[in-house]
Structure formats: structure tokens, C-alpha cells
Structure 1
Amino acid sequence: MNRNLTAYRVMATIVGVLLVVLILVGVPLKYLAGDGTDLQEIGAWITTNLGVLHGWLYMIFLFAAFMLARREAWELPYTLVTLICGTVPVLSFWAEHRATQRVRAEAAADALEPDPSR
């Protein structure tokens, strides 16, 4: 497996998990739990700290996805969808799966093509 794909997959997974925890756990706890309760404080901690961490790691994700897109010569719309999916909970996992399938399929197709230098 190429390094660009591995870096992209790792970052997509990390960013996806953080986003799910942030949006589906932290935000509801912060805003739906009673004021001053332990649950509300946990939600506030999650949204503050994981929010910042997700933001920084998302920048690394963008870079990893961009480098993969460049190496694989993806079209602009495909690249943009892949990048944007990192901002939507659960969609980042779908985008990672889709990108991995595409890279592996293209690598398999390239392996089957005869060498033109012979």
C-alpha cells in the first residue's frame, strides 16, 4: 500500500472518530445536560478540547488527502467531496472507504496493463 494512502486512511479515521465524539457526544452533553452538572462539564470539556484537536488534525487530514489526490490524479470534484466529507460526522468513513477502493482498483488495473517498453 502506498504511503499517501496509508497517511490519508489514518488521518481520516482519527478525524472521523474525533468528529463523531465531538458532535454526537460532546455537543449534546454541553447543551442538553443541566447547567452545572458533571455531564454538562464533560460536554464542555469535550467540545473545547476535542474541538481544537479536531481542528488541528483536520488540517493534517486535508494535507494527506490533497497529497493522495495529487498522486492519484483525481478529478477536482472527487477531490473536493473527499475533503469536505471530513467535516461531516460518519461521512468521513464512507469517503475513506470510497477513496481506498478507488486507489486499490486503479493499482490493480495498472498492474494488469502490459509494459509498453517491451
Structure 2
Amino acid sequence: MSGALTRFRVIAYLVGVCLILLTIGVVLRYGFGYPTLSQTVSPVHGFLYMVYVVAVFDLGRRIDWSLKRMVLVMLAGTVPLLSFYAERVVTHRWVPQPAPVTSGQPTA
């Protein structure tokens, strides 16, 4: 499961950064007439979002999430900055944390 969590965390950050760039690009395109950034970032974000959806599905399937929870986390990749928050919540609240490793030595 740690591999699925790592993949999810990486792609969540990439989607978040790409969505911020896309938002800036849309403002530049429609507010100031500079379409280059949005034209460049749009397909990249679209591809990364598809990878994000697959990563969320994989992680959710491995830790037995409900379909509703998976869809909510998937939708987080469509709102600027929300994928960062979703990654943090998933990592700290919804993913079971491993038990601490003990050395097997008795404590004095």
C-alpha cells in the first residue's frame, strides 16, 4: 500500500501545481490576451488529472474506501489548491498508519 500512497501523493502535488499554472494561464488568456500558457498547460493538466484519477482509484481500492470518498478525492484535482489539502487529509486521516516498530528489547 505504501507504493500506492506514494504515487498518489506525487501526482496530487503535480496536479495541484499544474492547476495553479492553468488558473494563471486562463487569467492571462482571457484577461490580457496571452493564450500561450493556458494552451500549453491545459493538455498537461488533462493528462495528469487522468493519472490522478487512476491513482486515487488504486489507493481507494487498496484501503477499501467507499465510492463516495473516492469521487470526492478525485474531484479535489479540479479545484485550485484543493488537491494539496486532499493529499494532506488522505495521508494523515484516511490512510491507516503503520504500527511503530519495536526493537524487541525490554525497557528498563
Give TM-score scaled by structure 2 length. 0.85
1:12-23 → structure 2 map (5 Å cutoff) = 12-23=12-23
* Secondary structure at the counterpart of residue 73 of structure 1: coil
- Cα drift, residue 76 of structure 1: 1.7
Residues 1:27 and 2:26 aligned together:
yes
- The one-letter amino acid of 1:72's match is I
Residues 1:76 and 2:75 aligned together:
no
Gaps of 5+ in 1: 113-118
* Secondary structure at the counterpart of residue 107 of structure 1: coil
Identity of aligned residues (%): 39
- Cα drift, residue 107 of structure 1: 2.6
Gaps of 5+ in 2: 101-108
From the two aligned structures, give the one with the greater helix fraction. Answer: 1
Query: Which residue of structure 1 aligns with residue 9 of structure 2?
Result: 9
Give TM-score scaled by structure 1 length. 0.78
- Matching residue within 87, 94, 97 for 1:107: 97
- Cα drift, residue 77 of structure 1: 1.6
Rounded to whole Å, the distance in 2 between the matches of 1:79 and 1:63 is 10
Query: Which residue of structure 1 aligns with residue 83 of structure 2?
Result: 92
The count of corresponding residues between Structure 1 and Structure 2 is 99
Query: Which residue of structure 1 aligns with residue 46 of structure 2?
Result: 55
